[in-house]
Chains A and B, each alone.
Chain A
Amino acid sequence: MLEVRELHLALPDRSVRRPFRRAPRVDILRGVSFHLTAGRTLGVVGESGSGKTSLARTVLRLHRPSGGQILLQGRDIAALDEAALRPLRAQIQMIFQNPLSSLNPRHRIGAIVSQPLALLGPAGGARVRGARARRSAAEALLERVGLPSAFVTRYPHELSGGERQRVGIARAIALRPAIVVADEIVSGLDVSTQAQIIALLRALRTDMGLALMFISHDLSVVRALCDEVLVLQDGKVVEQGACAEVFARPRAPYTRRLLEAIPLPEVDPGWIERAGVDDD
């Protein structure tokens, strides 16, 4: 489905400014490899600044990698230009960390979730035409993520944090992608809202057969959702494996430090199901 090999990313160093010269580049990702499978979730953990967001953006080709391959359904998209990428974009979608800044404050919720359908159409499907068809598509998507369909006429600032994040999810699944990348999407939310969002992701993963890449610095959330986990430190993978295995027997000292640093509460395996009961 998605295979990433030896991914490297170098970006201009924003802290250095020299007149008439190109800013020197700093290495942000140094040889990251992993693969994503339909219906399964890969957790990406690492402390702040370890390169998680950069990895997500590079996989989505918002950055151009300086080396390596990104194989989407077997096709390498690492070096494609914007025009060649456009028809492939529906297959891989992203949910951003900050739902407010990722929703255009000037657009209504209905327009936000239905725009991609009207402009491009879902993966392998026809474009949605006409105002009424757009509206009903938007309503269906909102209901899908557990929001009242009346929200189509609202603006982002009129919603709560959890509701905005659901809009972000609705928009991400609108094009029926095969892969969804979620970058710290529950970080700003309270615990019970977090649980509801995670329950929603689980349901969607099962229903749509999504391959999910779930980025978080919160290890307890990752443990609750993910099948495999990848530990990132300074743009390098220090540990990678089945989630239960890594959490039970961390091999890299960095992973051990991460696990110790975050005081894990005794995880009650049923907490998500109970908190998210009104979601399925």
Chain B
Amino acid sequence: MAASQLLKRLLLAIPTLFGVAVIVFVLMRVVPGDPIAMMIGPGATAETAAELRALYGLDRPLLEQFGIWLADAVRGDFGISISAHQDVARLILARLPATLELSLAAIAFAALFGVAFAVTGAYWRGRPPEGAVDAFAALSLAIPDFLWGLIFILVLGVLLPVMPISGRLDPRLDFAAVTQFYVVESLLRGEFRVLGSLLLHLVLPAVALGLPLTAIIARVLKSSLIEALAQDYVLQARVKGFGRWRIILREALRNALIPTVTLTGVQFTFLIGGTVLIERIFGYPGLGNLAITAVIDRDLPLIQGIVITFAVMFIALNILIDMTYALLNPRLRHG
């Protein structure tokens, strides 16, 4: 993607984020539930409640509240969390790396296994391996990610307790982290026991989160591979006497990846959304887990900050997908 196009996409992100902010703001004030009441409990006096309401600016007109929030937000100030009494931006930044590591692990799992299954199915077309790939895809798609999470916990955590099912790191390991990117940091610092424990904790949530995407990649890529294999340039490669693996990997795969990237791009964003439930189920200390707590507490500033963060992630991901697409397709690169 050219620099000018990138700039255009970034500028377009501004109205999108504004729209998201408006919708969340309105929504959170329309749904029943009062954050102040949640905070102080039944025993407090009306004066205390009114004071707090004034403190958080909740007594002002809606439009004014939004104006104040927006003016602060563009400066990077998302206010103070009502339930945690901490800076919202701080809270989010502390949790975001965990979610990024989880999502990236899930995407990497899905990409690796999705491509492997697709190639397997295309190579042994019409034979048992293709049937196995189809059956896997159907099963993985029929069961949503959070249900996979519960199944894994039940089977690999309870019935056959071989895997950790909660948290991010074995609490007995003491790891004085500088950043919240634990996996990256432990790797760079050579703390391999910590890294091992982190990865072990990451496996089940990442696989649960990535399975539906794996299935979609396997299915879409397999059919576009089969289509690409019927093209004349593949016949031509056979005429030359190229081997079958070479034909699939070097001639067909790159062409087949283009429709796959287009069709699965949307699924990436579903995956990010899926972190909310998966993190809750696995007690994983990420942004999604924080989001659920924030909603339960009606913590308006925190919810707003988290939603905006997710929106930025979605937009960044979409731009990344389009860039990959341009990279794969020389027509777009030159045209």
Contact = CB atoms under 8 A, between A and B. Distances in A.
30 contacts: A60-B239, A62-B238, A85-B241, A86-B241, A89-B240, A89-B241, A93-B239, A94-B236, A94-B239, A96-B232, A96-B235, A97-B232, A101-B233, A103-B233, A104-B255, A105-B331, A106-B255, A106-B328, A106-B330, A116-B240, A116-B242, A119-B240, A119-B242, A120-B240, A120-B241, A155-B330, A155-B334, A157-B331, A171-B236, A175-B240
Interface centre among A93, A103, A106 (most CB of B within 10 A): A106
Interface string A69-104: 000000000000010011101100110111001111
Given A106-B254, A106-B255, A106-B330, A101 B240 contact: no
A130 B246 CA distance: 19
B251 interface: yes
B251 A102 contact: no
Interface of A: 57, 60, 62, 82, 85-87, 89-90, 93-94, 96-98, 101-106, 115-116, 119-120, 155, 157-158, 171, 175
Interface string B242-286: 111010000100110000000000000000000000000000000
Nearest to A89: B241
A89 B255 contact: no
B172 to A, nearest CB: 51
B327 to A, nearest CB: 11
B232 A98 contact: yes
Contacts of A82: 244
A157 B233 CA distance: 14
B231 interface: yes
Contacts, number: 62
A115 B239 CA distance: 13
A1 B240 CA distance: 19
Interface string B147-164: 000000000000000000
Contacts of A119: 240, 242, 246
Contacts of B246: 119
Interface size class of B (residues with CB under 8 A): 20 to 34
Nearest to B255: A106
A158 B243 CA distance: 28
A115 B241 CA distance: 11
A133 B334 CA distance: 27
Where chain B touches its partner, the secondary structure class is: helix
Nearest to B240: A116
B251 A104 contact: yes
Contacts of B331: 105, 155, 157
A104 B331 CA distance: 12
A62 B235 CA distance: 7
Given A155-B334, A158-B334, A101 B241 contact: no
A116 B231 CA distance: 18
A57 B232 CA distance: 11
A89 B232 contact: no
A128 to B, nearest CB: 14
A62 to B, nearest CB: 6
A103 to B, nearest CB: 6
Contacts of B330: 105-106, 155, 157
Given A60-B239, A90-B241, 10 more contacts: A62-B235, A89-B241, A93-B239, A94-B236, A101-B231, A101-B233, A116-B241, A119-B246, A155-B331, A175-B240
Nearest to A111: B250
Contacts of B235: 57, 62, 94, 96, 102
Interface centre among A60, A98, A105 (most CB of B within 10 A): A105
Nearest to B254: A106
A106 B234 CA distance: 12
Contacts of A102: 231-233, 235-236
A89 B334 contact: no
A3 B330 CA distance: 42
Contacts of A106: 254-255, 328, 330
Nearest to A181: B239
B242 A101 contact: no
B238 A115 contact: no
A89 B231 contact: no
Interface in B201-260: 231-233, 235-236, 238-244, 246, 251, 254-255
Contacts of A103: 233
Interface string B316-335: 00000000000010110010
A124 to B, nearest CB: 14
Interface centre among B236, B242, B243 (most CB of A within 10 A): B236
